[in-house]
Amino acid sequence: MKKLSLNDACIIAKSHGGICFSTEYKDNKTPLLWHCSKNHTWYAPLCRVKNCGTWCPHCAGHMKLTLEDAKQITLSNHGDCLSTKYKNNQLPLLWCCKENHLWYTSLGNVKNGKWCPYCAGNARLTLEDAKQIAFSRNGKCLLTAYSNSKTLMTWKCRQGHIWNILLNNIKNSGSWCPYC
């Protein structure tokens, strides 16, 4: 098997319409500096480019994202990423939309088109939401702790009737007291 050289790296780069910027070749696993036809620059070992058939990770969408990428992605949504640290694509960051809604989700979700859950109408409901809905219907939510959408909640209407029902049922059905 022929030992690869810097010349081989340059030939492979040229075949992809790019350039190998490295001036020294140590071995097959030492990262070299590559440049693609779309002006992206990255480091990768020659063995990965030659044997795995990979080329520009930016063009392929495989480049590790940064906090600056998060801020750039939010520009198209007219919002902002308020987090100051970024670890990876799966951990939640703090976001703000143009309506000033705040929520946590991963950069991966935002990159895949999942923006503000409040504007989209699918935000997780809270105990405060339950109290506001009850107030808007001249009643009360008697629950003091709320876990999730499967939490059975106790409600009281202005006539004093008390009943239990899920928050989603109250919010989405448009009905209120089953006795009135």
pLDDT class of 158 with cuts at 50, 70, 90: very high
- pTM for the predicted model, two decimal places: 0.51
- Which position has the higher pLDDT, 13 or 149? 13
Q: Region 13-18: what's the mean pLDDT?
A: 94
Q: In this prediction, what percent of the chain has a pLDDT beyond 90?
A: 54
Q: How far apart are CA 70 and CA 115, in angstroms?
A: 12
The domains of the chain are located at: 6-60, 67-111, 127-173
38-68 per-position pLDDT tens digit: 999 989 999 888 887 778 988 887 777 888 8
Residue 1 is predicted with a pLDDT of: 61
For 63, residues 6+ apart whose C-beta sits below 8 A from its C-beta are 40, 42, 57
3-state secondary structure 119-174: CCCCCCCCHHHHHHHHHHCCCEECCCCCCCCCCEEEEECCCCCEEEEEHHHHHHHC
C-alpha Rg value of the chain to the nearest Å? 27
**pLDDT higher than threshold 90 for residue 150:** no
Mean confidence (pLDDT) of the chain: 89
Alpha carbons 153 and 92: distance in angstroms, whole number = 29
Identify the DSSP state of 77: T
Task: State the DSSP code for 91.
Answer: S
Residue 42 corresponds to which amino acid?
W
